C-alpha cells in the first residue's frame, strides 16, 4: 500500500511539473468501476491500468502502461536484465562466429593450422624423447659402475648413488612431461574438432548466401 501511495505522489509531482505540456493532450481510461474517465493530464484513478494519451484531434499519441509497485518493478528489471544478458551472449556468439569465419575461410586453412599446432607439440615430445634416451644411456653407465659393488651395494660411493637418484628423477620428469604433451595434443584436436563442426555450419550458410 505504501509503495502505491509513493507512486501516486510521484505521479502527481510529475504531472504538476509537466502540466503545461500535458495541457496539449487528452488522457482517457476505464477505471476499476468500468467508468470512462477523460482528463487533460495523467489520470490518478487509472494508475493501476492502461490509459491512452490522445492528441486534440482524438488520435492515440501513446499508450501509458500501469504504474508498478516496488516488487513489480524489481521483477520487471530482473526480466529486462536477463533479456539483456541473452542479447549480449547472442551478440558475442555472432562476433566469435564472424572472427572464426574470417580466420578460416576454407577447410584447407583450418586443417593446416591444426597440423602446425600438432607439429609444434610433436617437436617438443621428440626433444623430450631424445633426452629420455640420453638418460637411458647414462643409466647404463651408472649400472655398469654399480657392478663393482654388487656384492656389497653399501660400499658404493655417495656420488654414484646421487647420480642414480638424479637419473631416476630426471627420467620421471621426462615421462610426466611427455604424458602432459600427449594430453595437450588431445585438447588441441578437440578444440579443432569443435571449431570444424561450427565452421561447417558457417561455410554452408556463407555458400547459401553467395548463391542467393
- For residue 207, CA distances in Å to 79, 131, 177, 199 come to 37, 49, 44, 12
Residue 122, pLDDT > 70, answer yes
Q: Are 112 and 96 part of one and the same domain? A: no
Domain assignment of residue 162, given as a range: 106-211
C-alpha 62, offset from chain centre: 39
Residue 8, pLDDT > 80, answer no
Q: Are 111 and 94 part of one and the same domain? A: no
172, part of any domain: yes
Residue 10, pLDDT > 70, answer no
Q: Are 182 and 203 part of one and the same domain? A: yes
Residue 28, pLDDT > 90, answer yes
Question: ∠ CA 185-190-194 to the nearest 5 degrees?
Answer: 150
140, part of any domain: yes
133, part of any domain: yes
Tell me, what's the pLDDT at 44?
Answer: 86
Q: Are 124 and 183 part of one and the same domain? A: yes
CA dist., res. 76 & res. 149, Å (int): 84
195, part of any domain: yes
Q: Are 111 and 47 part of one and the same domain? A: no
% the chain with pLDDT above 90: 63
Q: Are 48 and 96 part of one and the same domain? A: no
22, part of any domain: yes
Residue 212, pLDDT > 60, answer no
- For residue 20, CA distances in Å to 2, 12, 134, 137 come to 29, 14, 93, 97
**pLDDT tens-digit readout, 147-160:** 989 889 889 999 99
69, part of any domain: no
CA dist., res. 92 & res. 171, Å (int): 46
Q: Are 85 and 110 part of one and the same domain? A: no
Q: What string of DSSP letters covers 88-134?
A: HHHHHHHHHHHHHHHH-SSHHHHHHHHHHHHHHHHHHHHHHHHHHHH
35, part of any domain: yes
Q: Are 113 and 201 part of one and the same domain? A: yes
173, part of any domain: yes
CA dist., res. 154 & res. 128, Å (int): 33
Q: Are 159 and 171 part of one and the same domain? A: yes
The domain total for the chain is 3
Tell me, what's the pLDDT at 45?
Answer: 85
Any residues with CB less than 8 A from the CB of 131 and at least 6 apart, and which? Answer: 170, 174
Tell me, what's the pLDDT at 81?
Answer: 93
Q: Are 122 and 190 part of one and the same domain? A: yes
**pLDDT tens-digit readout, 65-83:** 887 777 877 888 899 899 9
Average pLDDT, stretch 191-209? 92
Tell me, what's the pLDDT at 108?
Answer: 96
Q: Are 53 and 83 part of one and the same domain? A: no
**pLDDT tens-digit readout, 98-115:** 999 999 999 999 999 999
Q: Are 55 and 91 part of one and the same domain? A: no
- Under 8 Å between Cβ of 27 and 51: yes
Q: pLDDT band for position 1 (50/70/90)?
A: very low
Amino acid at each position: 500500500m505504501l509503495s502505491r501511495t509513493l507512486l501516486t505522489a510521484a505521479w502527481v509531482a510529475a504531472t504538476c511539473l509537466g502540466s503545461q505540456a500535458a495541457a496539449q493532450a487528452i488522457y482517457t481510461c476505464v477505471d476499476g468501476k468500468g467508468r470512462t474517465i477523460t482528463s487533460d493530464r495523467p489520470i490518478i484513478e487509472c494508475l493501476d491500468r492502461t490509459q491512452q494519451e490522445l492528441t486534440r484531434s482524438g488520435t492515440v499519441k501513446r499508450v501509458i502502461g500501469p504504474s508498478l509497485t516496488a516488487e513489480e518493478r524489481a521483477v520487471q528489471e530482473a526480466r529486462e536484465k536477463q533479456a539483456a544478458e541473452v542479447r549480449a551472449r547472442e551478440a558475442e556468439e555472432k562476433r566469435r562466429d564472424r572472427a572464426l569465419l574470417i580466420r578460416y575461410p576454407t577447410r584447407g586453412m583450418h586443417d593446416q593450422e591444426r597440423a602446425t599446432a600438432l607439429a609444434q607439440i610433436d617437436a617438443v615430445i621428440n626433444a623430450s624423447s631424445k633426452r629420455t634416451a640420453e638418460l637411458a644411456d647414462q643409466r647404463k653407465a651408472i649400472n655398469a659402475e654399480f657392478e663393482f659393488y654388487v656384492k656389497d651395494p653399501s660400499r658404493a660411493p655417495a656420488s654414484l648413488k646421487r647420480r642414480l637418484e638424479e637419473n631416476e628423477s630426471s627420467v620421471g620428469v621426462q615421462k610426466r612431461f611427455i604424458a602432459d604433451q600427449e594430453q595437450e595434443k588431445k585438447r588441441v584436436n578437440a578444440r579443432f574438432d569443435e571449431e570444424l563442426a561450427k565452421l561447417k555450419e558457417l561455410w554452408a550458410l556463407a555458400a547459401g548466401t553467395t548463391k542467393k
